[in-house]
Amino acid sequence: MVDTLTYRNILVEQERAVAIVTMNRPERRNALSYEHLGELIDCLKAIGRARQAAVVILRGSGSVFCSGHDLNEMIGREASFYRDLFEICTELMETIQSIPQPVIAQVQGVATAAGCQLVASCDLAVAATNARFATPGVKIGLFCSTPMVALSRAIGRKKALEMLLTGEFISAQEALDNGLVNRLAAPEDLAAQTLALAEQIAAGSAFVIGVGKQAFYQQIEMPQQLAYGYAREVMSANALAEDAQEGMCAFLEKRQPRWVNR
């Protein structure tokens, strides 16, 4: 099914168990137009429903990962347009975290504003060593308030506020040190290393990974006592699943598990 998805602003392909979604507006630095946002939502939801892919890689074509919102669309509009635009952008970020498959950002070039928000919203991120990240809205009079939500949940408060208040770029190494990305790769190795990480995750039970991803986001904002109560119930139900029983038996029998994804 993944191979049959067609859009104007994105490309979709599948390599073994990994769906690769490419933002394909290089002439606009992969800016997130209203249409582009809608296509990404539709695509990710379709992948989530189909369950043919175990992991998703989100990347950008050309020299830039994503430059944020398309400012050409944002001049002289009514308040209702801006609310709708930021609502659909929020829906994209929430979709990334709500589908069962882990979504890995593959970041080359720069990721700015809502593009940086995309990186912060993805479950994991691999960046080229020459990648750069910024939330520069303050420099054009439009504070990056919605990117702030994702950014401030991915990195520490002080660094997040520094990025938001100055609008200056941070390096890939700073992004790694502050938890915005998981690992770095030489530009020529970025695609291969991102795919290797995706396939490492895809080797597990897709059912169990989906359970774990949902549980992670549910518990992360809970007080510790409530989080343990919630996690206890999730893990108890997980233990009854066929893949959990198979995995435990395989470990004890010193063999590879045979996942049935339920």
pLDDT of 2: 67
Q: How far is CA 78 from its chain centroid?
A: 30
Q: Which domain holds residue 233?
A: 206-252
Q: Is residue 258 part of a domain?
A: no
Q: Is residue 259 part of a domain?
A: no
pLDDT tens-digit map of 69-83: 999 999 999 999 999
Assigned token pair, 200? 């490492």
Q: Is residue 260 part of a domain?
A: no
H helices within the chain, ranges in order? 34-50, 79-98, 114-121, 145-154, 157-166, 172-177, 190-202, 206-219, 224-239, 242-252
pLDDT of 226: 96
Assigned token pair, 110? 């720069």
Q: Is residue 185 part of a domain?
A: yes
Q: Is residue 262 part of a domain?
A: no
Considering the domain architecture, whether residues 221 and 94 belong to the same structural domain is answered as no
pLDDT of 1: 57
pLDDT of 82: 95
Considering the domain architecture, whether residues 175 and 229 belong to the same structural domain is answered as no
pLDDT of 6: 87
Considering the domain architecture, whether residues 216 and 192 belong to the same structural domain is answered as no
- Of the candidates 202, 217, 232, which is a domain's last residue? 202
pLDDT of 3: 60
Closest CA to 58 of 180, 162, 198, 168: 198
pLDDT tens-digit map of 195-248: 999 999 999 999 999 999 999 999 999 999 999 999 999 999 999 999 999 999
Closest CA to 110 of 154, 68, 162: 68
pLDDT of 5: 77
Considering the domain architecture, whether residues 210 and 88 belong to the same structural domain is answered as no
Considering the domain architecture, whether residues 120 and 14 belong to the same structural domain is answered as yes
Assigned token pair, 22? 């490419």
Q: Give the residues of the chain that fall short of pLDDT 50.
A: none
Q: What CA–CA distance (Å, rounded) separates 236 from 211? A: 12
Considering the domain architecture, whether residues 136 and 238 belong to the same structural domain is answered as no
Considering the domain architecture, whether residues 51 and 155 belong to the same structural domain is answered as yes
Q: Is residue 228 part of a domain?
A: yes
